[in-house]
C-alpha cells in the first residue's frame, strides 16, 4: 500500500527545500526526495563556498528566458528582501560584495542548515538518497514510484535542477518528466560558462593565460540568429585569459547570451577611444608602440595585440599612418571574436533553457495542462545572470509553488 502525502518534492536543492518548507509550514504533509548522498551540493560549492545567496537588485531584466516576463510574478511575490529577512532571522553574518551581490561571511553551509531548519519547522519528511523510478497520473493526484516504497500524493513538484556539473548529481529528470506529460522543452545548453577558442588567429593569445582586466563585452550582432538572439547581452566586468580561451565574470555573463557561430565583441579599454588617443599623441610622443600601449594595458596583452595586428613592437608611434592606428583602435575597442565553443556542462554554473514557461502558470508554477504537477528552479526556462540571481529565482519559484500546492 502506497504511503500518502499531500506533496512530493523531487530534488532537495535550493528550490526544492524552499518549496517543501513553505508548503509544510502551511500544514501540508510533504516528503522531500533526492538521489544524492550529500544534500544541496550546489549551494555548498556556490560563491566559492560562501554562497552568493541573492542579489538585492534582482529584477526580470536580469534573467534570460523565451518569455522574459514569466519570472516577474514570482520575483515580485518573493523578493531578495524576503530572503534576506530569513537570513537575518537565522543570524547568518553576510556582506554585500559587488553590484548588489550578498554573500555569507563564513560558509554556504549556513544557508543549507537554515533551509533544513525551515523544513524541520514544517515537519517535512525526507527520503535521501532515493531514486525515483517514475511518476504516474492517477484520477486524482499521482503515484510516485521510488526506492523505499511507492508514494501517493495530490501534488508533485519537480525541482531537480539542470544539467550543469554532472559529477555532483545533475540529471535530465525534470526534462524527462515534462516530456512524459507532453510539455514542451526549450533546448537546454550550458550557461555562465568559459568560452573556448582555437585555430591560428588565437595562437597569439595563448601565452596571455592568467591576464585579467576589466572590459565591456556584448553580443547581439546583426548576424545573430535563432532562439534567444533577441536578448542582447552587454556587461562591464573582469575578463580572464585562460589556456583554452576566455573566462572571468565578463565571459561567464556573455556566454549565456552567446549563440554558436556568432561573435562576441570586447572593448579592452572601455574608458578610451584608442584610435583618437593614438592619433592625437602622434606628433608629441616619441615612444615605441609597445611602450605606448603598455601604459594602458598589461604588457603581455599589449604586445600580443600589436603582433596580432601586424605591428613590430619597436615600431614608433610617430611613424604609423592614421589608417593603421584606426585599425588597431578598432581591434582594441571592438575586438570581435567567434568562440569555437564552451567548456560545456562540466564547468557551466547553470543550464539555459528547460521546461517551456508557456506550459506553466507564472502565479503558481503548475503545469497548465496537468493539475498538480509543478516545475521550479533551474529546471524551468528561466536563467539568471551571474551574481545571486539564480538562487533568487530558486527561492522565488520555490516559494510560489510551496504557497500553491
Measure the CA dihedral 261/264/265/271, to 10°. Answer: 180
Closer CB to ligand FAD, residue 12 or residue 278? Answer: 12
Nearest-approach distance from CB 23 to ligand FAD, in angstroms: 15
At residue 102, the 3 state secondary structure works out as: strand
Nearest-approach distance from CB 130 to ligand FAD, in angstroms: 7
Residue 303 forms beta bridges with which residues? none
Closer CB to ligand FAD, residue 66 or residue 291? Answer: 66
- Compute the distance between CA of residue 12 and CA of residue 6 in angstroms, rounded to an integer: 17
Using CB atoms, what's the residue nearest to ligand FAD?
13
Q: Residue 400 to residues 11, 73, 75, 129: CA-CA distances in angstroms?
A: 16, 9, 9, 26
Residue 307 forms beta bridges with which residues? none
**How many Cα neighbours within 13 Å face the side chain of 344?**
5
**Cβ atoms < 10 Å from Cβ of 126:** 16
Give the sign of the dihedral formed by CA 100, CA 104, CA 107, CA 111.
negative
Closer CB to ligand FAD, residue 40 or residue 370? Answer: 40
Closer CB to ligand FAD, residue 8 or residue 266? Answer: 8
Nearest-approach distance from CB 380 to ligand FAD, in angstroms: 8
**Cβ atoms < 10 Å from Cβ of 272:** 15
Closer CB to ligand FAD, residue 191 or residue 329? Answer: 191
Nearest-approach distance from CB 388 to ligand FAD, in angstroms: 5
Nearest-approach distance from CB 18 to ligand FAD, in angstroms: 8
Confirm if 35 and 131 have CB atoms less than 8 A apart. yes
Helices (H), 200-273: 249-255
Q: Residue 148 to residues 2, 38, 98, 116, 138: CA-CA distances in angstroms?
A: 10, 18, 45, 21, 20
Closer CB to ligand FAD, residue 333 or residue 351? Answer: 351
Nearest-approach distance from CB 161 to ligand FAD, in angstroms: 3
Nearest-approach distance from CB 34 to ligand FAD, in angstroms: 4
Closer CB to ligand FAD, residue 3 or residue 326? Answer: 3
Longest dimension (CA), the chain: 90
Closer CB to ligand FAD, residue 171 or residue 309? Answer: 171
Q: What are phi and psi of 275, to 5 degrees?
A: -60, -45
Nearest-approach distance from CB 393 to ligand FAD, in angstroms: 7
Residues that bind ligand FAD (CB under 6 A): 10-16, 33-36, 40, 42, 45-47, 51-52, 132, 159-161, 164-165, 169, 171, 173, 349-350, 377-378, 388-391, 394
- Compute the distance between CA of residue 381 and CA of residue 324 in angstroms, rounded to an integer: 46
Amino acid at each position: 500500500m502506497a504511503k500518502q502525502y499531500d506533496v512530493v518534492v523531487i530534488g532537495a536543492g535550493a528550490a526544492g527545500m524552499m518549496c517543501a518548507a513553505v508548503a509544510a509550514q502551511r500544514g501540508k504533509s510533504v516528503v522531500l526526495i533526492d538521489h544524492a548522498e550529500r544534500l544541496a551540493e550546489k549551494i555548498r560549492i556556490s560563491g566559492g563556498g560562501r554562497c552568493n545567496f541573492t542579489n538585492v537588485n534582482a529584477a526580470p531584466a536580469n534573467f534570460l528566458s523565451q518569455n522574459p516576463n514569466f519570472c516577474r510574478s514570482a520575483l515580485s511575490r518573493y523578493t531578495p528582501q524576503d530572503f534576506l529577512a530569513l537570513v537575518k532571522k537565522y543570524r547568518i553574518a553576510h556582506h554585500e560584495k559587488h553590484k548588489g551581490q550578498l554573500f555569507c561571511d563564513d560558509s554556504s553551509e549556513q544557508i543549507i542548515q537554515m533551509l533544513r531548519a525551515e523544513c524541520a519547522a514544517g515537519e517535512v519528511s525526507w527520503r535521501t538518497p532515493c531514486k525515483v523510478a517514475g511518476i504516474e497520473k492517477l484520477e486524482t493526484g499521482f503515484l510516485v514510484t521510488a526506492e523505499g516504497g511507492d508514494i501517493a500524493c495530490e501534488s508533485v513538484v519537480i525541482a531537480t535542477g539542470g544539467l550543469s556539473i554532472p559529477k555532483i548529481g545533475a540529471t535530465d529528470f525534470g526534462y524527462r518528466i515534462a516530456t512524459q506529460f507532453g510539455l514542451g522543452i526549450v533546448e537546454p545548453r550550458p550557461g555562465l560558462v568559459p568560452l573556448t577558442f582555437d585555430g591560428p588567429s588565437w595562437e597569439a593569445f595563448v601565452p596571455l593565460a592568467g591576464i585579467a582586466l576589466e572590459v565591456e563585452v556584448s553580443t547581439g550582432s546583426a548576424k545573430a540568429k535563432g532562439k534567444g538572439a533577441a536578448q542582447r547581452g552587454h556587461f562591464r566586468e573582469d575578463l580572464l585569459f585562460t589556456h583554452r580561451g576566455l573566462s572571468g565574470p565578463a565571459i561567464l555573463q556573455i556566454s549565456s547570451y552567446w549563440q554558436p557561430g556568432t561573435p562576441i565583441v570586447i572593448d579592452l579599454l572601455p574608458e578610451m577611444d584608442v584610435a583618437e588617443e593614438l592619433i592625437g599623441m602622434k606628433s608629441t610622443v616619441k615612444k615605441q608602440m609597445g611602450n605606448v600601449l603598455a601604459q594602458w594595458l598589461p604588457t603581455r596583452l599589449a604586445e600580443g595585440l600589436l603582433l596580432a595586428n601586424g605591428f613590430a613592437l619597436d615600431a614608433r608611434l610617430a611613424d604609423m599612418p592614421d589608417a593603421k592606428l584606426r585599425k588597431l583602435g578598432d581591434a582594441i575597442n571592438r575586438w570581435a571574436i567567434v568562440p569555437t565553443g564552451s567548456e560545456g556542462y562540466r564547468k557551466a554554473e547553470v543550464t539555459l533553457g528547460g521546461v517551456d514557461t508557456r506550459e506553466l502558470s507564472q502565479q503558481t508554477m503548475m503545469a497548465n495542462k496537468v493539475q498538480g504537477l509543478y516545475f521550479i528552479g533551474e529546471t524551468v526556462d528561466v536563467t539568471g545572470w551571474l551574481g545571486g540571481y539564480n538562487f533568487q529565482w530558486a527561492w522565488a519559484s520555490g516559494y510560489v509553488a510551496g504557497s500553491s500546492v
